[in-house]
Amino acid sequence: MGIRKRLAMNVRRLRKERGLSQEALGHEADVDRTYVSGIERCVRNPTIDIVERIAKALEVDEADLFRRI
């Protein structure tokens, strides 16, 4: 599995565990909802700054977004 797919799966899993919609996560991370959707569908290649903002919004370490589950 590629790293982008792993990121997508972890963002989706963590977002759902926290009961957040894509829109709510986007608001917390200051990115558009469609960008969150693109990350989760592997059609977006987020910058490290975006990864950092998403991790902060999900209250996890950035490395947690790349961990194998």
- pLDDT tens-digit readout, 11-59: 999 999 999 999 999 999 999 999 999 999 999 999 999 999 999 999 9
Overall number of domains in the chain: 1
For the entire predicted model, the pTM comes to: 0.94
Question: What is the domain extent for residue 37?
Answer: 3-66
| Residue 4 pLDDT > 90 | yes
CATH number for the domain that contains residue 61: 1.10.260.40
String of DSSP letters for 4-63: HHHHHHHHHHHHHHTT--HHHHHHHHTS-HHHHHHHHTT-----HHHHHHHHHHHTS-GG
